[in-house]
Amino acid sequence: MGIYILGIESSCDDTSAAVIHNRKILANFIANQSIHQDFGGVVPELASRAHQQNIIPVIDKALRTANINKNQLNAIAFTNGPGLMGSLLVGASFAKTFSLALGIPLIEVNHMQAHILSLFIEDESTTNHPDFPFLCLTVSGGHTQLMLVKDYFEMELLGQTIDDAAGEAFDKAAKIMGLPYPGGPLIDQFAAQGNAAAFSFPHPNVAGLDFSFSGLKTSILYFLRDELKRNPDFIEMNKFDLCASIQSMIVEILIRKLRKAVAETGIKTVAIAGGVSANSGLRKALTGMSKNEGCKVFFPKPEYCTDNAAMIAITGYFKYLNGNFSHHDIIPFTRFKAQ
Ligand code: KG4
Ligand code: ZN
């Protein structure tokens, strides 16, 4: 028996569907949209059109792989925000229609909360989950948040970016270097072969537990502009060292604030989540906090870091247990709101 939930994610440029049985993922499919690469970033109108094309095949594939019939589903969970309105509407409309057709509950999910709850997905290799309360650095293409997670649905925002998100910093730095979108994973890959001490950039001075990345972007821009005047091949010749130095700076900005939060709250259970939590430099830095500072550290499996529906399904599961269902007249929201 148990509970079967279909999770649907369509907040940005990935169309994803997952089926969860209690806390175990039976299927998790993601259709990426390569069309945005030509434009150096996500084009909202193209994203929503691609979601329209992808959503039925992705859901069909997830149900087939999970080897369950749609009539076995107990609820439909979907991302209701934050994200791009045109993209969200595709997932929301499908979820509402499917839940009405099947006569089962509809569950709205906050995308940022779902990134955090991806830490609670169970599988053979991940049986260890953070105990409450814990601190979570939620780092993605659109957000950078430091959350105090008191319970599954009780989270307090301690700090956030005052300008660019961490993922945006990776992507913009990559763009300045002429690398394709999204640049984060490429910087990570190239950084592995470079020297992180080769170049240094000024550290932002931001009060409290907030973050800032726009100064870093500007200093990379001006630094490269000047170097390219002297040597037009500067980027190509220093690609690996540049990536290693940029990555190390972004990781340093994030980890400094996480350490500050540990010191201020006394909470030594820390986690990362969201697309940038796939970054090997950040994962290594977190492991360092475990070795050097005795913190208990947690990160999602790589496939649950970047946008995926498995995280929507696990959040749906916990909401289902609480009987926290949504009305069919809810509308998606674009900007983050605490729930
Ligand atoms: O969570 P996510 O998939 O989408 C949003 O909710 O925004 O995060 C996407 C972001 C992009 O900025 C991407 O460049 C970044 O996560 N990212 C990475 C890595 N993998 C994805 N950044 C650095 N290193 C990575 N390995
Ligand atoms: Zn995300």
Q: For 267-276, how does the pLDDT look when each residue is reduced to its tens digit (9 = 90+)?
A: 999 999 999 9
Ligand 1 atom nearest 143 alpha carbon = 7
Whether 166 shows a pLDDT value over 90: the answer reads yes
Q: In this structure, are 73 and 169 located in the same domain? A: no
Three-state secondary structure of the chain: CCCEEEEEECCCCEEEEEEEECCEEEEEEEEECHHHHHHCCCCHHHHHHHHHHHHHHHHHHHHHHHCCCHHHCCEEEEEEECCCHHHHHHHHHHHHHHHHHHCCCEEEEEHHHHHHHHHHCEECCECCCCCCCEEEEEECCCCEEEEEEEECCEEEEEEEECCCCHHHHHHHHHHHCCCCCCCHHHHHHHHCCCCCCCCCCCCCCCCCCCECCHHHHHHHHHHHHHHHHHCCCHHHHHHHHHHHHHHHHHHHHHHHHHHHHHHHHCCCEEEEECHHHHCHHHHHHHHHHHHHHCCEEECCCHHHCCCCCHHHHHHHHHHHHCCCCECCCCCCCCCCCCC
* Residue 83 beta carbon below 6 angstroms from any ligand 1 atom: no
Tell me which residue has tokens 């949209």: 33
For residue 72, the enclosing domain spans: 4-122+304-321
* Residue 277 beta carbon below 6 angstroms from any ligand 1 atom: no
Has residue 75 been placed in a domain? yes
Whether 127 shows a pLDDT value over 80: the answer reads no
Q: Which residues contact 228 (CB under 8 A, 6 or more apart)?
A: 234, 235
Q: Are 246 and 166 in contact (CB under 8 A)?
A: no
CATH value at residue 224: 3.30.420.40
* Residue 215 beta carbon below 6 angstroms from any ligand 1 atom: no
- Phi (first) and psi of residue 9, to 5 degrees: -125, 125
Strand order in the sheet with 14-21: 24-32, 14-21, 4-9, 75-81, 106-110
* Residue 307 beta carbon below 6 angstroms from any ligand 1 atom: yes
Q: In this structure, are 288 and 139 located in the same domain? A: yes
Q: In this structure, are 150 and 277 located in the same domain? A: yes
Has residue 45 been placed in a domain? yes
In this prediction, residue 25 carries a pLDDT of 97
* Residue 276 beta carbon below 6 angstroms from any ligand 1 atom: yes
Average pLDDT of the residues in 308-328: 98
- Phi (first) and psi of residue 133, to 5 degrees: -85, 155
pLDDT digits (tens, 9 = 90+) for 182-227: 999 999 999 999 999 999 999 999 999 999 999 999 999 999 999 9
Q: How far apart are CA 328 and CA 324, in angstroms?
A: 13
Q: In this structure, are 104 and 157 located in the same domain? A: no
* Residue 261 beta carbon below 6 angstroms from any ligand 1 atom: no
Average pLDDT of the residues in 312-328: 98
* Residue 86 beta carbon below 6 angstroms from any ligand 1 atom: no
Range in 37-41, 48-52, 269-273 with the lowest mean pLDDT? 37-41
Rounded distance from Cα 314 to ligand 2 centre (Å):
15
In this prediction, residue 6 carries a pLDDT of 98
Q: Which residues contact 102 (CB under 8 A, 6 or more apart)?
A: 70, 71, 73, 76
For the whole model, what pTM was predicted? 0.96
* Residue 188 beta carbon below 6 angstroms from any ligand 1 atom: yes
Has residue 335 been placed in a domain? no
Rounded distance from Cα 141 to ligand 2 centre (Å):
7
* Residue 184 beta carbon below 6 angstroms from any ligand 1 atom: yes
Q: In this structure, are 47 and 159 located in the same domain? A: no
* Residue 140 beta carbon below 6 angstroms from any ligand 1 atom: yes
Q: In this structure, are 229 and 146 located in the same domain? A: yes
Has residue 326 been placed in a domain? no
Q: In this structure, are 79 and 102 located in the same domain? A: yes
* Residue 44 beta carbon below 6 angstroms from any ligand 1 atom: no
Q: In this structure, are 27 and 97 located in the same domain? A: yes
In this prediction, residue 41 carries a pLDDT of 81
In this prediction, residue 339 carries a pLDDT of 63
pLDDT confidence tier of residue 37, bands split at 50, 70 and 90: confident
Q: In this structure, are 15 and 102 located in the same domain? A: yes
Q: In this structure, are 112 and 11 located in the same domain? A: yes
Q: In this structure, are 148 and 267 located in the same domain? A: yes
Has residue 165 been placed in a domain? yes
Average pLDDT of the residues in 152-163: 97
Rounded distance from Cα 274 to ligand 2 centre (Å):
5
Ligand 1 atom nearest 305 alpha carbon = 1
Average pLDDT of the residues in 83-89: 96
Ligand 1 atom nearest 166 alpha carbon = 12
Question: In the chain, how many domains are there?
Answer: 2
Whether 233 shows a pLDDT value over 70: the answer reads yes
Q: In this structure, are 237 and 259 located in the same domain? A: yes
- The closest residue, in CA terms, to atom 24 on ligand 1 is 279
Average pLDDT of the residues in 85-107: 98
Mean pLDDT of the chain: 95
Rg (CA), the chain: 20
pLDDT confidence tier of residue 255, bands split at 50, 70 and 90: very high
Among 170, 272, 334, name the best residue to mutate to test ligand 1's pocket (greatest count of ligand atoms within 8 A of Cβ): 170
Rounded distance from Cα 278 to ligand 1 centre (Å):
7
Average pLDDT of the residues in 107-125: 94
